[in-house]
Amino acid sequence: MAIMKPRTLSGFMELLPAPARQMERMMEILRESYALYGFTPLDTPVIEASEILLAKAGGETEKQIYRFTKGDTDLSLRFDLTVPLAKYVALHYNELTFPFRRYQIGKVYRGERAQRGRFREFYQADIDIIGDGQLDILNEAEIPSIIYRTFTALGLERFRICVNDRKILNGFYAMEGLTEKSGDIMRTVDKLAKIGPEKVRQILQEDLGLTAAQAEEILTFISITGSSQAVLAALEGYRGRNELFDEGLTELSVVVNYLSAFGVPEENFAVDLTIARGLDYYTGTVYETVLLDHPEIGSICSGGRYDNLAEYYTEKKLPGVGISIGLTRLFYVLSEQGLLSEAPAPADALVLPMTADLSPAISAATALRAAGIRAQVYAEQKKFKQKMAYADKQDIPFVLLLGEDEIGAGKVSLKDMRTGQQELLALGEATGRILQAIGQAEAVPPIRN
């Protein structure tokens, strides 16, 4: 038979077993965190009718789409989880209870130019809260708490959730008579950290044609930093000049003032007036999340408030707020930077039968599983050394040996693979030891600090 050389497409992440277990553990933590805030796990098709998926799209996105026909149907693979959500909410509107909270962890597809760290198939982990006609600001205020809890559960400590409010920005630019140029200005200001204030001033004046006074006003505005309360106080100085600005400031104050009740420490949070999030789509609070020791990674969790989720599919006004984690890219970057903890083992215990009758070993494994221990029985015809190597290579922390002596004594030999120590114990005792070690292992989060 002709052999076909196996390969995986470039731009498609395919993990080896140990990193696959790390990834699964991260997903499990995301599912748990999102569920704690009352989000429902949703799953929508990967394939949609092209006319539905592309109702809004255009430009770059459209070029990247995986689009094809099957029979005479024009189909596309989803390129994000937001458009399918919009379709879902519009389609099932009458059967949903609002505010509707859903999370979705799913694969999306973009035919980007293949390069290291860029993926054509990747997981997004999204949460959204959708209101029917209106949505209270408290939902926006809750988002930092969800981000905080999720990343803390993943093991991160040194990260910061940065928020801004598009109403404050839009109101401010209106005050300055710069509404028409506000898009270009925001894109420029967004580069502040990268290019510095003088370069920003230069672009504002030379490229965008602002006066020196206007540029100065903008630089003064975006240099408002410090504690959240200090930023709010400084912003109060602008109050009364523009209605939208005032509304945004009131909202931002709500977000800041409930942080502590939501359990978000001040050091993990900042108001950052340079954040705009590119999309015109956002209309209120916007979010970014940065790793303090790895700012080069960029935002690892972003999103914001929008006024109209599904305007392409329904005349109903469906405001919402949502955030997204680019999970595949985050996993890739954490892995590249050596920021992932040791992968979980595939099993907690390997049971090695040392007699012809395997029943005692199988019964021991059955008992371990009943106690919640992930156990494998190893019965391959190999030398003892190779059997131990099977456990060793996969970092299985315990080996249970069941030979004539152990069976005769009604006990098991428990070998702790980390210490090399071996003890003759009752199965119940061995179970207790293993459960204790599992508890310790589970306390180690997937991301190192």
Dist CA 338 CA 448 (whole Å): 8
Binding mask 145-174 for a second copy (x = CB under 8 A): x---x-------------------------
Closest C-alpha to 438, from 334, 389, 391, 368: 368
Selected binder of a second copy within 172, 173, 282, 313 (CB under 8 A): 313
Binding mask 5-44 for a second copy (x = CB under 8 A): xxxxx--xxxxxx--xx-xx------x---xxxxxxxxxx
Stretch near a second copy under the rule CB under 8 A, chosen from 46-54, 226-234, 399-407, 428-436: 46-54
Burial 266-294 (b: 16+ CB within 10 A, else e): eebbbbbbbbbbeeeebbbbbbbbbbeee
**Strand ranges in 328-391 using DSSP code E only, listed in sequence order:** 349-353, 375-377
437 belongs to the binding site for a second copy (CB under 8 A): no
8 Å CB contact between 253 and 165: no
Stretch near a second copy under the rule CB under 8 A, chosen from 194-202, 214-222, 304-312, 317-325: 304-312
8 Å CB contact between 156 and 29: no
Binding mask 280-299 for a second copy (x = CB under 8 A): --------------------
Within 105-124, which residues bind a second copy (CB under 8 A)? 107, 109, 111, 121
8 Å CB contact between 46 and 122: no
Dist CA 266 CA 161 (whole Å): 10
Within 182-241, which residues bind a second copy (CB under 8 A)? none
* Alpha helix (H) residue ranges in 103-225: 137-154, 166-175, 182-189, 192-195, 197-202, 212-222
Question: Which one-letter DSSP state was computed for residue 54?
Answer: T
Selected binder of a second copy within 82, 124, 139, 268 (CB under 8 A): 139
Selected binder of a second copy within 124, 274, 299, 376 (CB under 8 A): 376
Selected binder of a second copy within 26, 79, 81, 142 (CB under 8 A): 142
Amino acid letter at 447? I
Comparing CB distances to a second copy, the nearer of 150 and 299 is: 150
Selected binder of a second copy within 29, 85, 127, 135 (CB under 8 A): 135
Selected binder of a second copy within 216, 311, 416, 429 (CB under 8 A): 311
Total residues contacting a second copy by CB under 8 A comes to 101
Comparing CB distances to a second copy, the nearer of 73 and 225 is: 73
Selected binder of a second copy within 59, 71, 237, 338 (CB under 8 A): 71
Within 335-354, which residues bind a second copy (CB under 8 A)? 346-347
Dist CA 294 CA 120 (whole Å): 24
Comparing CB distances to a second copy, the nearer of 74 and 243 is: 74
Q: CA–CA distance from 161 to each of 156, 268, 314, 328, 405 (Å)?
A: 12, 6, 33, 20, 59
Comparing CB distances to a second copy, the nearer of 271 and 373 is: 373
8 Å CB contact between 197 and 219: yes
- Environment class of 323 (CB within 10 Å of its CB; exposed 0-12, middle 13-18, buried 19+): buried
Dist CA 360 CA 212 (whole Å): 85
Comparing CB distances to a second copy, the nearer of 205 and 314 is: 314
> Which residues, including other chains, have CB under 8 Å from residue 230's CB and lie 6 or more apart?
none
447 belongs to the binding site for a second copy (CB under 8 A): no
Stretch near a second copy under the rule CB under 8 A, chosen from 283-291, 299-307, 368-376, 436-444: 368-376
Stretch near a second copy under the rule CB under 8 A, chosen from 47-55, 210-218, 222-230, 280-288: 47-55
CB neighbours of residue 375 within 10 Å? 21
Bridge partners, 271 (sequence order)? 163
Within 86-105, which residues bind a second copy (CB under 8 A)? 87-88, 90-92, 95-97, 99-102
Selected binder of a second copy within 210, 310, 401, 430 (CB under 8 A): 310
Bridge partners, 351 (sequence order)? 377, 400
Within 250-279, which residues bind a second copy (CB under 8 A)? 258, 261-263
Q: What are phi and psi of 442, to 5 degrees?
A: -70, -20
Stretch near a second copy under the rule CB under 8 A, chosen from 154-162, 165-173, 237-245, 389-397: 389-397
**Could you tell me the smallest distance in angstroms from the CB atom of residue 21 to a second copy?**
6
Dist CA 240 CA 250 (whole Å): 12
**Could you tell me the smallest distance in angstroms from the CB atom of residue 62 to a second copy?**
13
419 belongs to the binding site for a second copy (CB under 8 A): no
385 belongs to the binding site for a second copy (CB under 8 A): no
8 Å CB contact between 400 and 350: yes
Comparing CB distances to a second copy, the nearer of 138 and 409 is: 138
- Under DSSP, is residue 108 helix (H, G, I), strand (E, B) or coil? strand
